[in-house]
Amino acid sequence: MSEYKFDPSYEYACQMDKQDNLASFRKEFYINEDTIYLDGNSLGLLSKRAEMTLAELLESWKRYGIDGWTEGKYPWYDLSERLGGMISPLIGGAPEEVIVTGSTTTNLHQMVATFYNPTGKKTKILADELTFPSDIYALQSQIRLKGYDPDSHLIQVKSRDGRSVEEDDIIEAMTDEIALIVLPSVLYRSGQILDMKRLTTEAHNRGIVIGFDLCHSIGAISHDLTEWGVDFAVWCNYKYLNSGPGGVGGIYVNKQHFGRLPGLAGWFSSRKDKQFDMEHTLTPADNAGAYQIGTPHVLSIAPLIGSLEIFSEAGIDELRKKSLNITRYMMDLISHELDGMGFTIGNPIDDSRRGGHIYLEHAEAARICKALKVNGVIPDFRSPNGIRLAPVALYNTYEEVWKSIQILKKIMKEEQYKKFENKRGVVA
């Protein structure tokens, strides 16, 4: 694709699509041509390959019954490990450091149970005040389980502007009382990318274990977790990785920690060759598989196989390049077309700090999101006043971005949003 230069015309959007070397991947997905889907940072669209691999796993169950654990194209017994190997290039880890298992929150519970070992003065966990609520719930629970009070032992770094968190403020909070740090790689509202490399270095300089929640970065930006020395990470696979609603999540554990007993041990924590010895003494796997708990959810894992094949072909670097271009284009269109209509761009402008979505703030955000949906644009509302718009590199087009901003402009000029209550739906 040629270098991006802004032009507000419809013809320019169509020309950008013609130059898009990822354009062919759009046909891999089920696209509703009556809508413009800009919520892929919450739930990615279904791909035909994901549908196919789900069908293949159903067929293996039908054909092999229990022998599907060891037979067929995708034997179930080591499927979590094999998919970990497919994900590993997206996070910059070795295959053995990655496992597909659990959900974001159960995996975070596992990691905190494993790595939060308060001793002496080091008894507190450091997080931030803008992180996703479920991460905070998990951290509070783990602190209580260790006999401490979350009000005094969960330290949350304050935001200066309500949108972003400064690394300097996080580093300042890394006192000698901190035992563990858990942070998002990308803030779910504003899309700010935290400097994971710098924060990991600073944490380790102070003898603190640090882990990241990659839910809003995996599949959208590249990572080098092992090179950076990150201790652990957790994530879901149903946003940019398009594995389906409630799809199985993932864990990364740096190989330097292999051999550490899982805080929450279970059936699939076992070393594969020992698991069916049925001993009451756990022999943990000598890789990230040790941090599994229960039996893999095979039918929920299945769509991820096809999805990751697409990522392997597209390449995360090319996806990131388009993501930066198309989000830059959307911001420029917003500034050009919506000036004076009460919108504020709340995501970072700088490419190195911006994740995969745009974050608009407006006092009437909930109403505007409802009006967008009626007009065939699928956004995401985030309380109290945020509109998230994610032009996903694999399947969204520049033409869709151009049309969506024109629709938004029409909604504002005609005050269509006033037909709706400024209140979120049950699922925002």
Question: Rounded to an integer, what distance in angstroms lies between the CA atom of residue 192 and that of residue 345?
Answer: 12
252 is in an annotated binding site: no
Q: Mean per-residue pLDDT for 130-142?
A: 98
pLDDT of residue 5: 87
Q: Mean per-residue pLDDT for 196-207?
A: 98
Residue 278 has pLDDT above 80, yes or no: yes
Band the pLDDT of 146: cuts 50, 70, 90.
very high
Residue 73 has pLDDT above 60, yes or no: yes
Residue 407 identity (one-letter amino acid): I
In tens, the pLDDT along 12-42 reads: 999 999 999 999 999 999 999 999 999 999 9
Residue 377 has pLDDT above 60, yes or no: yes
pLDDT of residue 422: 81
The mean of the pLDDT values for the chain is: 97
106 is in an annotated binding site: no
pLDDT of residue 253: 98
109 is in an annotated binding site: no
Q: What percent of the chain has pLDDT over 90?
A: 97
Question: Rounded to an integer, what distance in angstroms lies between the CA atom of residue 99 and that of residue 249?
Answer: 9
**Cα dihedral 175/182/232/256 (nearest 10):** 10
201 is in an annotated binding site: no
Residue 102 identity (one-letter amino acid): G
Q: Mean per-residue pLDDT for 259-272?
A: 96
Band the pLDDT of 426: cuts 50, 70, 90.
low
How far is CA 306 from each of CA 116, 271, 281, rounded to the nearest angstrom? 35, 27, 37
| Domain extents in the chain | 10-30+315-419, 51-312
216 is in an annotated binding site: yes
pLDDT of residue 428: 64
pLDDT of residue 330: 98
Cis peptide bond prior to 384, omega within 30° of 0 = yes
pLDDT of residue 20: 98
105 is in an annotated binding site: yes
57 exposed, middle or buried (CB, 10 Å; 0-12, 13-18, 19+)?
buried
Superfamily of domain 10-30+315-419: Aspartate Aminotransferase, domain 1 (3.90.1150.10)
Q: What is the CATH number of domain 51-312?
A: 3.40.640.10
**Nearest Cα residue to 342 out of 359, 366, 364, 372:** 364
295 is in an annotated binding site: yes
pLDDT of residue 423: 80
Band the pLDDT of 107: cuts 50, 70, 90.
very high
Q: Mean per-residue pLDDT for 136-151?
A: 98
Band the pLDDT of 427: cuts 50, 70, 90.
low
61 is in an annotated binding site: no
Residue 211 has pLDDT above 70, yes or no: yes
Band the pLDDT of 425: cuts 50, 70, 90.
confident
pLDDT of residue 14: 98
Cα within 13 Å of Cα(372), Cβ side:
25
Question: Rounded to an integer, what distance in angstroms lies between the CA atom of residue 58 and that of residue 350?
Answer: 45
pTM: 0.96
Band the pLDDT of 1: cuts 50, 70, 90.
low
Q: Mean per-residue pLDDT for 59-72?
A: 98
30 is in an annotated binding site: no
pLDDT of residue 424: 73
